[in-house]
Amino acid sequence: MANQVTDGNFESEVLKCELPVLVDFWAPWCGPCRAMGPIIDELANELTGQVKVCKMNVDENSASPSRFGIRAIPTLILFKNGEVLDQTTGAVSKSSIKDMIAKKV
């Protein structure tokens, strides 16, 4: 399962994490977000120890999505050492996400 992050712990859980971190910015009312949920959880299990996978509910947390210019959901952002390495918006395939990670990490 993906870790749930909030505005309160975003810096410690994502920006200061030693591993690369993939964050799924989502909302419960978003159909494509719900469709991506199982894929994000599968990636969290498959990439354990290589990449930390997190989810952030944009309805409950507004500061972090605003800080990173999230205008549409789902948006996936790959962070490493506090920096944005890559991002994608919209429902994408599991293989596309894995390719994005493989190219940057």
Residues 5, 33, 51, 70: which is the catalytic one? 33
Residues 15, 30, 85, 91: which is the catalytic one? 30
Catalytic, 17? Answer no
To the nearest 10 degrees (0 to 180), the angle between helices 94-104 and 31-46 is 50
Catalytic, 54? Answer no
Contacts for 39-48 with beta carbons within 8 Å, 24 or more apart? 39/93, 39/94, 39/97, 40/2, 41/1, 41/2, 42/94, 43/2, 43/94, 43/97, 43/98, 44/1, 44/2, 44/3, 45/1, 47/22, 47/101
Catalytic sites, residue numbers = 30, 33
